[in-house]
Structure 1
Amino acid sequence: MTYATVMVSLALDQPNEPRLEVAGELAERFEAAIVGVAAAQFAPPLYFSAEAQGLIDEGEASIKWRLAGLEAEFRAATKNRGGHAQWRSALDFPARFVLAQARCADIVVSGARSPAFSDAFARASPKDLVMQVGRPLLVVPDTVNWLDLRNVLVAWKDTPEARRAVADALPLLRKARDVTIAMIPEQGDDRSVAIAGVTDVADWLARHGITATARICEGAPNESAAAQLERVAGDLGAGLIIAGAYGHSRFRELILGGVTQHLVTQSARSVLLSH
């Protein structure tokens, strides 16, 4: 398994250099094609008149001009990467456009979600993508400018989402220097069952040529799973976390669980998520 096509989602009015750098690095590592995608929708006025139509026309013209600027940025960032580069953009809601285009990719690179309000007209938040994209989503915070595979942390939970995430991440895990599989037991979990689970995953990875260390993490009383995971990642110096993505809402699954919410908003390291 490899990544033959890397897709990178760009956004208006925010830094795109980190995700362009990581996406370009991925394309080089795997000799993959790279597809840049961006979309934005003009937020219409609350009233309509002849003047309002003029504002809409001006707003859409401005968006087209700014999307052209993003294409130029994408072309400049990928011109020396050596692989095939393609650009796709539209006047559309960003998340909807990215979700549609992801059918052509093996992995999608996105920026992290700001804890503050995110404009759905101007950017595709990973919160909107992760449950529906159908591909592994690599979330790159603005503070990260390279894909650090020296220490990779697999946040293990014996669920279909976590199993899918590890399988999706095999190409990256093969290039990692050190891999740790960490499970944070929930209250009432049988420790022997937990140990057997992470050991099975480590043995499975070994059969794929990947050496991994398995560990069970013991948290402090009343420490959240997200806080425990962050502490373990910090202790390891992890540059990448691999995890399943979880939601609590059956209505489009847009309400993320606590750990997933933390992973798409933290700013210290890249995160690969699969649902």
Structure 2
Amino acid sequence: MTYATVMVSLALDQSNEARLQVAGELAERFEAAIVGVAAAQFAPPLYFTDGAAAQGLIDEGEASVRRRLAALEAQFRAATRNRGGHAEWRSAMDFPARFALAQARCADIVVSGGQSPAFSDAFALASPKDLVMQAGRPLLVVPDGANWLDLRSVLVAWKDTPEARRAVADALPMLRKARDVTIAAIPERDDDRSVVMAGVTDVAAWLARHGVTATARVSEAAGDEPAAAQLEQVAGDVGAGLIVAGAYGHSRFRELILGGVTQYLVTQSARSVLLSH
């Protein structure tokens, strides 16, 4: 398995430099095509008018959105000019999440920025929450402070679920290029530690058969400390530049409410994160 096409989702109201850098580097490492996508809708103000004044306001707002999308295309073209592979741009006057989710069918992996804990504008950017839960592709979340894809140490946050199994499989191309890989499980209060260790050991053996040498690790019980805090401790211990994890949601209908660890992973700003659902 490899990544033949990398898609990067750009936003109107967030910095795009880090995600463009990492997406371009990822495409270069795997000799992959890179597709840039962006969309936005004009959001009418809460106060409104009618007739010719209303139409003029709409025309002006939509023209502004088109100019901003054109500026994003120029930024994408400049960032990929010297990468050497095939680069393609796609944009539309549409809701960003809806457009990006449709375009994800062309890619092996989607690159996005992280999400601020504050409210994000659904008219201007595709939230990583929407992308990871609905795209059917692994999502690489790149914090704004990142300037390269650091694969010197990769942490696999293991939990014996379909989502985590899928994440490890989706991350295989990166894991093969990593210098150090750690598979870490954080047991829940009633878990049998020996059972958890057996599971982590199985994953390490599976990776070994795919050419990846990994260290298995099971965290000590940490009382009432949240799993996200324990994961951060492990990531710091191993100096992880990338975390690989399954993505979990609470809503059965739309899965738009992320679990605690998943929510933490899309909002933390220290490391890139590969998530699969």
TM-score between both structures, scaled by the size of structure 1? 0.99
Q: Is the 8 A contact 1:110 1:139 kept in 2?
A: yes
Structure 2, unaligned runs of 5 or more: none
Q: Is the 8 A contact 2:183 2:215 kept in 1?
A: yes
**Partners in 2 of 1:154 and 1:230 — Cα distance?**
12
CA RMSD, Structure 1 to Structure 2 (Å): 0.8
CA deviations 1:242-275 (Å, max 9, x no partner) are 0000000012100000000000000000000000
**1:84 equivalent in alignment to 2:86:** yes
- Counterpart of 1:52? 54
After TM superposition, the structure 1 = structure 2 runs for residues 107-256 of structure 1, keeping only pairs within 5 Å, are: 107-256=109-258
Q: Secondary structure at the match of 1:169?
A: helix
Worse overlay, 123-132 or 78-87 = 123-132
- Counterpart of 1:36? 36
- Counterpart of 2:2? 2
**Partners in 1 of 2:162 and 2:222 — Cα distance?**
27
**Partners in 2 of 1:260 and 1:14 — Cα distance?**
21
Letter aligned with residue 49 of structure 1: D
Aligned length: 275
- Counterpart of 1:18? 18
**Partners in 2 of 1:80 and 1:244 — Cα distance?**
33
The list of structure 1 runs, each at least 4 consecutive aligned residues, that deviate by more than 3 angstroms after superposition, is 45-48
State the identity as a percent. Answer: 85
- Counterpart of 2:68? 66
Q: Is the 8 A contact 1:35 1:87 kept in 2?
A: yes
**Partners in 1 of 2:161 and 2:67 — Cα distance?**
45
**Partners in 1 of 2:15 and 2:221 — Cα distance?**
36
CA drift of 1:98 comes to 0.3
Q: Is the 8 A contact 2:141 2:274 kept in 1?
A: yes
TM-score between both structures, scaled by the size of structure 2? 0.98
**Partners in 2 of 1:58 and 1:154 — Cα distance?**
48
After TM superposition, the structure 1 = structure 2 runs for residues 95-106 of structure 1, keeping only pairs within 5 Å, are: 95-106=97-108
